[in-house]
């Protein structure tokens, strides 16, 4: 079987071009979408992510503000900063870069963001709306995965979908989105027995584990569509959770790493911010 590469880079580029057009239209009405990113401490990986988000914002014509707070910032100081941004009419999206230093309460910080400005979709109210199948701000990575499935023309109604991973930021919202789209969904995790028995039934398989090369050919149903969310570093090289070359022998379509889900995450962050600004306008 020939495996089609689902080109996340190309889809993300198209999404970002579409966003830039909508940003320009909003600007004509006097509204410039703005995203604020709060970075606490000096984690080098977070620094890179935050810089990339700022650059992407500016390229799309949006306003970007990065708030840097010292590692020893108190919960109160962090929430005061979030509150300042909640009140800033020029800011449509607020993102708290995770992970936060260990002394800070992540859940409290995320819930301090006004739900309409919750660019990551991590506020409990937005998570609850997603659970109910209501329209809401959807977490960027799973939202990007859904967009990739749509762009690849994957029919979802009635399909068996298996998500490996149950984190609040990827696995769980991904499972809900697939369920809302009409799939029959199984969520697997570290306590799952006979993982391959589940994954081999999947028409759509999403790997969000964080272990390089975790999904192998024998775990994949012939003809399955495989989305690889994982970002792992091995000998300085970025790779996903799926053993790409061998799985490509059986899958019908698959996202590569890099160049698959990753570029979509940032594109969806811009989209969430734009949609909030459109509501404001
Ligand atoms: P977490 O570590 O929060 O979750 C990993 C999940 O994998 C957990 O639910 C865990 O199970 C499960 N798991 C671990 N080992 C196994 C196993 N042996 N068998 C089955 N399941 C297992 O990670 P995230 O969800 O935050 O991220 C997952 C991956 O996606 C990471 O590589 C991360 O870097 C990447 N990522 C990529 C993004 C992108 O833009 N492309 C964005 C966000 C994340 P349990 O719950 O039982 O511990």
What domains are there in the chain, each with its CATH number? 30-117 (3.40.50.10860), 139-261 (3.40.50.720)
- Please give the distance, rounded to the nearest whole angstrom, from the Cα atom of residue 171 to the centre of ligand 1: 7
Global confidence as pTM: 0.97
- Residue numbers of the chain with a pLDDT score lower than 50: none
Question: Is 231 a pocket residue for ligand 1 (Cβ < 6 Å)?
Answer: yes
User: What pLDDT, on the 0 to 100 scale, is given for residue 264?
Assistant: 98
What is the reported pLDDT for 142? 98
d(CA 120, CA 110): 9
158 by Cβ neighbours in 10 Å (0-12 / 13-18 / 19+) ranks as exposed
- State residue 18's pLDDT score: 97
| Whole-number pLDDT of residue 62 | 98
What are the phi and psi torsion angles at 258 (to 5°)? Answer: -80, 175
Residues annotated as catalytic are 53, 97, 120
Ligand 1 geometric centre to CA of 173 (Å): 13
């Amino acid at each position: 079987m020939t495996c089609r590469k689902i080109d996340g880079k190309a889809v993300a580029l198209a999404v970002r071009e579409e966003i830039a057009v909508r940003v320009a239209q909003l600007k004509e009405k006097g509204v410039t979408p703005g995203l604020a990113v709060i970075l606490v401490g000096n984690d080098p990986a977070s620094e890179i992510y935050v810089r990339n988000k700022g650059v992407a914002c500016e390229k799309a014509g949006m306003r970007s503000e990065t708030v840097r707070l010292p590692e020893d910032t108190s919960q109160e100081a962090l929430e005061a900063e979030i509150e300042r941004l909640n009140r800033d009419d020029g800011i449509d999206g607020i993102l708290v870069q995770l992970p936060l230093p260990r002394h800070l309460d992540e859940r409290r910080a995320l819930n301090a963001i006004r739900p309409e400005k919750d660019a990551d979709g991590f506020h409990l109210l937005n998570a609850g709306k997603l659970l109910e199948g209501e329209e809401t701000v959807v977490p960027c990575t799973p939202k990007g995965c859904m967009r990739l499935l749509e762009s690849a023309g994957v029919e979802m109604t009635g399909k068996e979908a298996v998500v490996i991973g149950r984190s609040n930021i990827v696995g769980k919202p991904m499972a809900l989105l697939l369920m809302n789209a009409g799939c029959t969904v199984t969520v697997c995790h570290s306590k799952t027995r006979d993982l391959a028995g589940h994954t081999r039934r999947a028409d759509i398989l999403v790997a969000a584990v964080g272990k390089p090369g975790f999904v192998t050919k024998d775990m994949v149903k012939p003809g399955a569509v495989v989305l690889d969310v994982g970002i792992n570093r091995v000998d300085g090289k970025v790779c996903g959770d799926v053993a790409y070359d061998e799985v490509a022998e059986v899958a019908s379509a698959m996202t590569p790493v890099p160049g698959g889900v990753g570029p979509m995450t940032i594109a969806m962050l811009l989209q969430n911010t734009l949609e909030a600004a459109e509501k404001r306008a």
